[in-house]
Amino acid sequence: MGEIDSEEPPVSEAGEEEQGAPDYIGAFLALSRRAKIRVLIPVSFVLWHVAVVLLWGAGERVREVVRPVVGFYAGGLKLAGTWGMFSSPSRMHVTFVYGVKEDGQRIMISPDPESTLYQSLVDMRERKMRTRLDDEGQRNAWGNRYLDSFCQRPDGSWFQRVELESAEHDEQRRWGTRKVVLSRPCFFAHKKAQEAKQKEQSP
C-alpha cells in the first residue's frame, strides 16, 4: 500500500507536553518536509475513511449528494455501508422451489427436505436468494433465469417445469394460502443445454 503504512512510526515523541503526555503536533511540526508527507498520507486516509463511513451512513438524501465524490469508495469498493440489521419489520414470507415432472408429480427442490448437514451448510445462502424473489420486481428481472437453473435434476433428467411458490404470514399471524407466483417451463433451459453441448462437441 505504498506510503499508507502503519509499519513506520509517523511521529516521534520528541515533543512532550508539560503534563508529560506526548505532543504529537509539536513532534509533527518539527519533522522534515518529506517526513511530514509520510505522516500526512495515512492521516489523510484515516480522515477520508471516517468521513466516508459517516456520510454514507447518514441517510439516503446525504448519500445521493455525496455519491459523485465518494460513491466509488463506498458503493463501488463497498468500504462503507449501512447496518440497520433487524430494524425494519421482518419479512414474513416463505418461498419454495418445486419441480414438476412429466406425470404431474411435484417435488420440492429448494429447500431440499432431504439435505444432509453438509449440504445444508453449502446451501446456506440459497434461502436469501429465494426470499428476494418475494418481490415482484426482482421476479420480473431474474426470476425466470433463476428457475431455469433448477430444471435439470442431479440424475441428468429434466423437469417439465419449475415453480416458485410463496406463502405469506397474515395479520392474524397465520400462514396464508400458498400460491405459485412464478412458473417456468423447462423447455428453454433444456434447449439451451443441448445447444451448448453441440457447440462443445463441434470442432
Cα–Cα distance for residue pair 99/158, rounded to 1 Å = 9
Cα–Cα distance for residue pair 166/104, rounded to 1 Å = 19
Cβ proximity to another protein: between 7 and 103 the closer is 7
CB of 20 to another protein, least distance (A): 12
Give the C-alpha distances (Å, rounded to integers) separating 167 from 8, 97, 141. 58, 12, 21
Cα–Cα distance for residue pair 109/157, rounded to 1 Å = 14
CB of 190 to another protein, least distance (A): 13
The answer to whether 86 and 100 are in contact (CB under 8 A) is no
Cβ proximity to another protein: between 104 and 177 the closer is 177
| Contact call for residue 180 and another protein (CB under 8 A) | no
| Contact call for residue 7 and another protein (CB under 8 A) | yes
30, 35, 94, 181: which one binds another protein (CB under 8 A): 94
For 94, the grid coordinates are 416463505
Cβ proximity to another protein: between 82 and 105 the closer is 82
Cβ proximity to another protein: between 114 and 121 the closer is 121
Amino acid at 73: Y
Using a 10 angstrom Cβ sphere, with 0-12 exposed, 13-18 middle and 19 or more buried, the burial of residue 66 is: middle
List of residues contacting another protein (CB under 8 A): 1, 4-7, 9-11, 17, 21-25, 42, 45-46, 49-50, 53, 57, 72, 75-94, 121-122, 124-125, 127-129, 131-132, 138, 141-142, 145-146, 149, 169, 173
